[in-house]
Amino acid sequence: MQLTPTLSHQTQQKAVQTPNDIVQVNHITRELALGNEQIPILRGVSFAIPRYTWTAIMGPSGSGKSTLLGILAGLDTPSSGQISVDGVDITHMDETKLARFRNEKIGMVFQSFNLIPTLTALENVEVPLFASRNSDRSAARAKRMLELVRLSDRLNHRPNQLSGGQQQRVAIARALVNEPNLLIADEPTGNLDSATGEAILDLFDNLRRELGLTIVIATHDPAVSQRVDGILHLADGLLVEESR
């Protein structure tokens, strides 16, 4: 299903300049060394993700979802195959360039939030701004992101003073502060009760419309399948079913 979200002027311009698929993955494999053995984790996976869609990656524990998301986010490199994000082949990009590319184009939300415990919510959201070329490094943007995730009243709380759902929302605000095109989240509702999980999913739904985002999440949550535009089913390192 193709979406017709409300896009900002800036996002519409970006969309015209690039082809319809934001992610293209061609036959990627990932092997990991365990002692002397090479264990195949991903065994040849190919797919494309259209812009402005919301895709879920589902499959049993150990099927390779997090490994695949790490590669999509440019945090890991495939053993073979090719991956392009936003029209750029990142497969063999050097680490410095890749770090900049990630910082500008990709927002990543980790399952365990990965917030810095000694920093406040606002300071956590500001962190990616310091690594970016964006001249606007003010706290104003970080604040705006925390408003978007409805945490304006918790700016100066540290992670241990926030609930799980609130920490997850700080992690989402941090992932969005550099205005990425692609938001990747690994089991964003995995640690939350079902009502808080639903609220996070509502938030994703709103954000992709407001910000013109493409969202990819790994999930075990059957409620997600009702909301997304496409599902990639992984089993044992292979894409076994794709519904869109």
The contact set with Mg ion (CB under 5 A) reads 65-66
Does 64 bind ligand ATP (CB under 6 A)? Our answer is yes
- Rounded to whole angstroms, how far apart are CA atoms 77 and 85? 13
Task: Give burial (CB, 10 Å; 0-12/13-18/19+) of 73.
Answer: buried
Residue type, 135: S
The percent helix, strand, coil of the chain (3-state, each to 5) is 35, 25, 35
Residues 67, 167, 214, 219: which binds ligand ATP (CB under 6 A)?
A: 67
Residue nearest to Mg ion (CB): 66
Shortest distance, position 16 Cβ to Mg ion, whole Å: 35
Of 92, 78, 84, 106, nearest to 20 (Cα)? 84
Does 189 bind ligand ATP (CB under 6 A)? Our answer is no
Does 34 bind ligand ATP (CB under 6 A)? Our answer is yes
Strand bridging mode 37-50 / 106-109: unpaired
Q: Which residue, 25 or 148, has its beta carbon nearer to ligand ATP?
A: 25
Structure token pair of residue 138:
């003010």
- Rounded to whole angstroms, how far apart are CA atoms 187 and 201? 11
Which one of Mg ion, ligand ATP, none is in contact with 19 (Cβ closer than 5 to 8 A by kind)? none
Task: Please provide residue 121's backbone torsions phi and psi, each rounded to the nearest 5 degrees.
Answer: -55, -50
Structure token pair of residue 52:
């402005």
Shortest distance, position 41 Cβ to ligand ATP, whole Å: 4
Which one of ligand ATP, Mg ion, none is in contact with 53 (Cβ closer than 5 to 8 A by kind)? none
Shortest distance, position 61 Cβ to ligand ATP, whole Å: 3
Q: Which stretch binds ligand ATP (CB under 6 A): 56-64, 87-95, 141-149, 203-211?
A: 56-64
Q: Is the distance from CB of 126 to CB of 139 less than 8 angstroms?
A: yes
Q: Which residue, 17 or 36, has its beta carbon nearer to ligand ATP?
A: 36
Does 62 bind ligand ATP (CB under 6 A)? Our answer is yes
Q: Which residues bind ligand ATP (CB under 6 A)?
A: 32, 34, 39, 41, 59, 61-67
